[in-house]
Amino acid sequence: MAYFPEVSKIAYEGPTSKNPLAFRHYNPEEVVEGKKLKDLLRFTVCYWHTFRGTGVDPFGSATLVRPWDDGSNSVENAVKRVDVAFEFIEKLGCPFYAFHDRDVAPEAETLSQTNKNLDAVVKALKAAQERTGIKLLWGTANMFSHPRFMHGAATTCNADVFAFAAAQVKKALEVTKELGGENYVFWGGREGYHNLFNTDMKRELDHLAKFMHMAVDYAKKIGFTGQFLFEPKPKEPTKHQYDFDAAACLNFCRANGLLDHIKLNIETNHATLAGHTMMHELEYARIQGALGSIDANTGDLLLGWDTDQFPTDIYLTTQCMLVILEQGGIAPGGVNFDAKVRRESFDPIDLFHAHIGAMDAFARGTKIAAAIRKDGVLKDFVKKRYRSFDTGVGAEIESGKATFESLEKYVLGKETLNPNESGRQEMLENIINQYL
Ligand code: XLS
Ligand code: NI
Ligand code: NI
């Protein structure tokens, strides 16, 4: 049975194509910086927005038309959705998908029944993966929707809820392994707080560290060799999320001996909510060897919340790819479209338009970034800008030889300092525009 009968496999038709259901820039076989685009970008469809999104917002109910969904919480409905999802992902030509345990299978009254539901759907997912060759980029656990997690999961004040969360992640790791998932993600969910009058921050952070160590230990025990990813987000749902941004996450990992086990999953809309650009967050993670994967979406700068829109801005994707190409790719991570169609875009076919546009935007950004890198325009400028540290006193500073005394002596012995040079920001911005 075809759930998208009006769509056949989306083909690459080149930049002049007027067909809205074709790629203009994403040619999976095209080689950029030595890698096929499909292997470099590792595009991923995310199950929660694309197959569980309904279009609800705080002011209105569901709007999205999903004819295959009977609206029930049954396992049958969940298994049927697997067929829909894989037909969609296959027609789109996306090599990966990602999910939360609770998006793919319904939660029941008891944990044991919930696990059985999950097993039934995992069986269907596994068969669909084998049939289509589509792979799992990452799995994760939803520990924020159910009311039990109102105070958080690993940072809850209720030890029973902590235990439940641990059992849930144990199972999520098992199924991620079963499905050959290449990564496992921790996004904080409700790991944060609203008010310090009722919060023991120290205890909560210690518990979170214990929880993540337990996950790392259990993964080792069951032979799950995928990469762990920590996803920063500054706010929403809590006012203060502990995983605020890349810097906060890396500090947490470093302080708690987790740095060797965990990399970051950087999301565009979370970066901007934290008052950073995506490029800043990516570069901050990359220079510390911690850039693991990305949640590729975009926010709306006029709205102050996580709107999770599909990325279409070539300037943004170019900036992302400048950093990703610099680190030689993103594998075993990928470019996951943690994005949802607007509630006014309610037809199933809008899912295709959204993903095609985002994939094309990333493919174009990749080629633009590669051209910029090939000509060395930024690299050469930046290298030259710091050349005073290549020799003489600068080299002594960098090598650790210099001290306050030696630097004072150096300055006292000099008539005048070397003059500053222009940062040429506008010129560089103009040069980048020549490539767009
Ligand atoms: C929510 C997060 C979430 C994670 C996975 O804002 O982006 O979707 O990516 O739990
Ligand atoms: Ni995300
Ligand atoms: Ni998000």
- Check whether 1 has a pLDDT greater than 80: no
Tell which atom from ligand 1 comes closest to the C-alpha of 144: 10
Ligand index nearest the alpha carbon of residue 142? 1
Residue nearest to atom 5 of ligand 1 (CA): 187
* Pocket (CB within 6 angstroms of ligand 1): 100, 140, 185, 187, 231, 233, 267, 295, 306, 338
Nearest Cα residue to 335 out of 316, 351, 307: 316
Reported as a single tens digit per residue, the pLDDT across 303-319 is 988 999 999 999 999 99
The pLDDT, as a whole number, for residue 304 is 84
Residue nearest to atom 10 of ligand 1 (CA): 187
Total Cβ atoms within 10 A of residue 391 = 9
- Average pLDDT taken over every residue of the chain: 98
Question: How many angstroms separate the CA atoms of 145 and 148, rounded?
Answer: 8
Nearest Cα residue to 379 out of 370, 388, 389, 367: 370
Residue nearest to atom 2 of ligand 1 (CA): 187
Q: What is the DSSP letter of 10?
A: -
Ligand index nearest the alpha carbon of residue 307? 3
Task: Name the residue of 272, 295, 308, 309 to mutate for ligand 1: max ligand atoms within 8 A of Cβ.
Answer: 295
262-267 and 227-231 as β-strands: parallel, antiparallel, unpaired? parallel
Region label for 93, one of left (φ > 0), alpha (ψ between -120 and 50) or beta (otherwise): left
The pLDDT, as a whole number, for residue 302 is 93
The pLDDT, as a whole number, for residue 386 is 98
Residue nearest to atom 3 of ligand 1 (CA): 187
Spacing, Cα 99 to ligand 1 middle (Å): 10
Q: Which residues are catalytic?
A: 100, 103
Question: How many angstroms separate the CA atoms of 414 and 249, rounded?
Answer: 44
> What percentage of the chain reaches a pLDDT higher than 70?
100
CB 95 within 8 A of CB 88: no
The pLDDT, as a whole number, for residue 370 is 98
Query: Longest C-alpha distance within the chain, in Å?
Result: 83
Reported as a single tens digit per residue, the pLDDT across 239-266 is 999 999 999 999 999 999 999 999 999 9
Q: Which residues pair with 138 in a beta bridge?
A: 98, 183
